[in-house]
Amino acid sequence: MDSRKMDLALLEKLCCAHGVSGYEDEVADIIIDLIKDNCDTVMKDAVGNVLAFKKGKKTPKEPIMLCAHMDEVGFSVKYINDDGTLDFLQVGMSGTVLPSKRVLVGKNRIPGVISSRPVHLSPDKSKAVKQSDLVIDIGAKDKAEAEALGIFGDYAAFCSEFCLLGDGLVKAKALDDRIGCAVMCILSSYELENDVYFAFTVGEELGGTGAIAATNRIKPGTALVLEGTTASDLYGYAEKDKVCKPRFGAVCPFMDGGTFYDNGLYKKVLELAKENDIMVQTKTKVAGGTDGAKIQRTGKGAKVVALSLACRYIHTSSSVGSVEDMESILRLSELLINSIV
C-alpha cells in the first residue's frame, strides 16, 4: 500500500459530532467546512444532504457519485414523564444494548443515563429488556423541571469518547458511517482522474430518504457507497457467521439484504486490490443494507458497488474498526474512481 493514510483527527471530529437521524445539521456543517476549499461546488439540498462536485482531469460518460450517510443511530424524546424521566424512540438498534448507557440530549448536550429496572429486581432475569421498559434519566426532579429544558422532540446521542484500542484499532460511536464521510472528505483533497460528485446523505438509518433525493439530482451512472458493516468475529459465532473481520481489509460485498451489487464493479475492486497489494474481503452472509438499494432503484438506476469498514459492536455506543482497513477503503476508492471510463 502507498503512503495514503487515514486522518484520525478528522475521523475523531466527525465521530464526536452528533447526527442522529433527522438531526444531521451539526455533521453537515463540519463536512462543508472540511471540503469547501477542495470542491468546485458545495451545497445543502432541501432534505439536508451535503452535495459537492469536484472537477477531475476528465469527464466520464456518465456521472460518478460517491455516497456516505451522515446520520447515526440514536434517540428522540417522545414524552416527559411525571418523575422527569424521558420516554424515547430509538433508531437502528436493539433495546438489549441500551441499559446504563450514557447519552447527551439536544444541542446543549444535557447528560443522561438510559435507565431500567435493576436486573436483580426483575421478575424474569432470563428475558431481554424491552425498549418500552427504558427511560432516559437526566436527573430532573419532576416533569416541570424537565419540560423547562425545552427538550421535547429533541434528539439524544450516545456519549462515547474516541480512542485507540489495542494495536491499530479505533473505538468510537458512529463509525457507521462517519468512516465513509471521512474517506470522502479526504478524497476531495486529492487530484482525481474523473469528475466526481460527493453525496453526504441524511436518513440512511430511516430508510434512505437522502439517497433518493441525491440520486434524483445527480443521476449517476456509477455509484460507490462507503459504509460501516457488521463484524461478528467474536467468540461463540460459527466461522461461516463471522461475516467479515477487522484487520482483513476493506469489505466489498457481492450482495446484501437490499442490493445485488454490480458484478463488473465488484470484480473490478477485487482486481484493483490484487494488482496494488491491498487487503480486501467480502461478506460471508447476505444481510443488512445500505443506501445502495435506493440508488439502484431511483430514476434510471445506476451501477452500484460498496466498500465498507468491518465494525465490531456496530449500532452501539462503542464500535471498533481497524485503521489499516480504513486505509484500504481510501486507497481502493481512489483507484476505482480513477479507473472508470
Which amino acids are annotated catalytic? 204
Contacts within 8 Å (CB) and 24+ apart, 165-170:
165/320, 168/247, 168/322, 168/323, 168/324, 169/246, 169/320, 169/321, 169/322, 169/323, 170/8, 170/11, 170/320, 170/321, 170/322, 170/323, 170/326
Residue with cell 447515526: 72
Q: Could you tell me which of 301, 230, 231 has the C-alpha nearest to residue 260?
A: 301
Residue with cell 459504509: 227
Q: Could you tell me which of 147, 175, 251 has the C-alpha nearest to residue 11?
A: 175
Residues 172-200, buried b or exposed e (16+ Cβ, 10 A)?
Answer: bbbbbbbbbbbbbbbbbebebbbbbbbbb
- d(C-alpha 309, C-alpha 252), whole Å: 9
What are the cell numbers at 47? 432534505
- Side chain identity at 35, as an amino acid letter? I
Please give the distance of CA 123 from its chain centroid, rounded to a whole number.
37
